Amino acid sequence: MRILALLLSLLLCACQTNPFAGDVPDKLSLQTKTFEDVVRWGALEKMYLFLKQDPAQPPVQVQDGLDNVRVTGYESSQLGKISETRWAQTAVIDYVLTDRQVVRQLVDHQLWVSDDEGKTWYRENPVPLFR
């Protein structure tokens, strides 16, 4: 009987998807999904809208040649909790340089941060460079 109870408890514990990820805030989940949609289907210049705008700093320069990039794939990992207001995610982005028909891939390590207890989320690290 004890063995059956032990097996049942092990089976139930194994059903958790990712016990280390924590509960992803809804607004963060929506923000990362929107970022994915912009990269995958939208104008790549809009990626820069996800960065925190600091009025004391000069504006971030948008990479030249983004109109020559066509994203063909975007695979992201689960969000990993660093703290309540800091989460990390990694995405693999496949793309083609349309003028040369060169296929490329990059790994985008994303750091998402909230300064207002999860009401708004922005990307803390720079957006990926397409070369």
> Which two three-digit tokens encode residue 37?
């949609």
User: Is residue 69, in this structure, part of any structural domain at all?
Assistant: yes
Count of domains observed in the chain? 1
Residue 34: inside a domain: yes
The pLDDT tens digits for 6-15 are 444 444 444 4
Query: What is the rounded average pLDDT for all residues in the chain?
Result: 88
107 within domain boundaries: yes
The CA dihedral of 34, 38, 39, 45, to the nearest 10 degrees, is -130
CA distances from 86 to 13, 24, 56, 125 (A): 27, 11, 23, 12
pLDDT at 24 over 50: yes
**Which CATH number goes with the domain that contains 66?**
3.10.450.50
pLDDT mean over 2-21: 46
What is the extent of the structural domain holding 91? 22-123
pLDDT tens sequence across 66-112: 999 999 999 999 999 999 999 999 999 999 999 999 999 999 999 99
